[in-house]
């Protein structure tokens, strides 16, 4: 497919007063364990009732068989071709915690990790309290300030996550991840992914930082190393509000998703740390915007932890706020995920993602429940997540006829 969906839509979009809510339950898709997925096990009377009034389907975040990161998967949901716009997680995490990123900056997302010798035994350092993260970042910033003329700063995120920013001339983000991706494997260092001097120099700086980091943190019992991935400079993306002619708000608790929303041009709204806080925020700002991105993180976190039961619990918590969202009378409500995170796999996967679209224009009546198998049988079929925005806009009566 060579056409640019956003360019096509820009020509036929019309404004009106409709309200659209995109509820993303991160990593919601799963595969059966003992015959059932968390969505099938969860008590979800409100999602199931909504399914009876909606059209269901399942999305492919990037390509069939391709396991997506959260960045590409979300970009696709927002209508940005993830094969065209490659964005490192570093910039998303950085913007999400309000790190200023300028022309001379290159950033990376970090995980504090526990190593024994040169073996990574826990990629998330036991998911420490954020206060521990802050303390360790202060130690690093007091000990490591500059490498080969490049300024270095680390910024704490939530739990085990942090951001590192390198500031200097001729820095490149064409680097491989310095992360083995699995526990029990040796530490890996970054390498340039293109053959140029800027990438080679930047790789030397990053690897020297990692060596210094290991020395500085050698006495820490758990947070004694850092894994880096998603090296990135500031990208140039079309503005979401300009492309779709909407005023868009993002409600999310985790920095990366705030960063992604900010990067595409949404207004990131401050909220609390719970799903209940998020829905309260939605109600407070509902009259001020017409498109709402509402993100639920813990479905993904518990999937990655292999915690089937807690993933079920988060699904049930989300189900409980569906009536509150519907009480606002949105013209379109989509409930979906960005990707699948099967609990028994403890990782993202390539499996299609459940998708449910509610509006007054749906071909309703086929489905009785919201889960992976009902969605696979749904009227929307299997489609690319990249087409979600045109479906949302169409059901909001915001698209004119294409052609004569």
Q: Tens of pLDDT along 307-341? A: 999 999 999 999 999 999 999 999 999 999 999 99
Residue 256: what pLDDT? 82
Total number of domains constituting the chain: 2
Which tens digits make up the pLDDT trace of 64-112? 999 999 989 999 999 999 999 888 778 888 888 889 888 899 999 999 9
302 and 192 within one domain: no
Positions of the chain with pLDDT lower than 50, given as ranges: 1
Which residue, 232, 256, 284, sits at the end of a domain?
A: 232
Which residue, 185, 210, 232, sits at the end of a domain?
A: 232
Per DSSP, 265 falls in state: T
Residue 114 lies in a domain: yes
339 and 212 within one domain: no
**Predicted structure pTM score:** 0.80
CATH code of the domain containing 346: 3.40.720.10
Find tokens 């309290």 and name the residue: 129
Whole domain around residue 191: which residue ranges?
92-232
Residue 206: what pLDDT? 98
Residue 400 lies in a domain: no
Query: Which among 13, 16, 20 has a CA at the least distance from the CA of 282?
Result: 20
Residue 404 lies in a domain: no
269 and 370 within one domain: yes
Strands 248-251, 267-268: pairing kind:
parallel
User: What is each CA distance from 274 to 21, 60, 92, 327, 341, in whole angstroms?
Assistant: 18, 28, 21, 20, 21
Cβ contact 288:15 at 8 Å: no
223 and 298 within one domain: no
The share of the chain scoring above pLDDT 90, in percent, equals 89
228 and 263 within one domain: no
293 and 197 within one domain: no
77 and 135 within one domain: no
Residue 2: what pLDDT? 57
Query: Which among 302, 387, 339 has a CA at the least distance from the CA of 28?
Result: 339
269 and 133 within one domain: no
């Amino acid at each position: 497919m060579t056409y640019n969906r956003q360019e096509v839509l820009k020509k036929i979009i019309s404004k009106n007063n409709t309200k659209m809510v995109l509820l993303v339950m991160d990593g919601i898709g799963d595969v059966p364990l003992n015959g059932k997925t968390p969505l099938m096990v969860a008590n979800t009377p409100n999602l199931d009732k909504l399914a009876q009034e909606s059209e269901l389907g399942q999305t492919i975040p990037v390509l069939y068989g391709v396991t997506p990161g959260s960045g590409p998967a979300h970009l696709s949901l927002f209508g940005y071709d993830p094969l065209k716009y490659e964005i490192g997680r570093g910039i998303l995490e950085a913007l999400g915690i309000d790190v200023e990123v300028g022309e001379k900056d290159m950033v990376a997302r970090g995980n504090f990790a526990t190593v024994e010798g040169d073996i990574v035994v826990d990629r998330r350092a036991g998911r420490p309290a954020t206060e521990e993260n802050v303390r360790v970042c202060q130690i690093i910033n007091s000990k490591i300030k500059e490498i080969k003329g490049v300024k270095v700063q680390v910024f704490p995120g939530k739990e085990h996550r942090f951001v590192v920013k390198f500031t200097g001339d001729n820095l490149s983000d064409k680097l491989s991840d310095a992360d083995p991706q699995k526990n029990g494997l040796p530490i890996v260092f970054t390498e340039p992914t293109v053959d140029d001097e800027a990438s080679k120099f930047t790789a030397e700086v990053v690897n020297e930082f990692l060596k210094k980091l290991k020395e500085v943190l050698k006495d820490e019992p758990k947070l004694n190393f850092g894994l880096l991935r998603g090296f990135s400079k500031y990208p140039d993306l079309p503005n979401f509000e300009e492309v779709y002619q909407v005023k868009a708000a993002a409600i999310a608790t985790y920095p990366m998703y705030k960063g992604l929303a900010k990067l595409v041009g949404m207004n990131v709204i401050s909220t609390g740390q719970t799903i209940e806080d998020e829905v309260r925020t939605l109600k407070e700002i509902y009259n001020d915007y017409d498109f709402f991105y509402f993100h639920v993180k813990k479905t993904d976190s518990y999937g990655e932890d292999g915690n089937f039961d807690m993933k079920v619990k988060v699904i049930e918590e989300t189900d409980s706020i569906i009536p509150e969202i519907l009480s606002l009378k949105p013209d379109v409500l989509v409930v979906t995920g960005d990707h699948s995170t099967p609990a028994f796999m403890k990782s993202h996967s390539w499996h299609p993602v459940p998708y449910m679209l509610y509006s007054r224009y749906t071909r309703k009546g086929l489905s009785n429940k919201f889960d992976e198998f009902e969605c696979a049988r749904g009227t929307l079929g299997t489609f690319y997540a990249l087409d979600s925005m045109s479906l949302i806009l169409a059901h909001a009566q915001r698209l004119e006829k294409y052609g004569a």
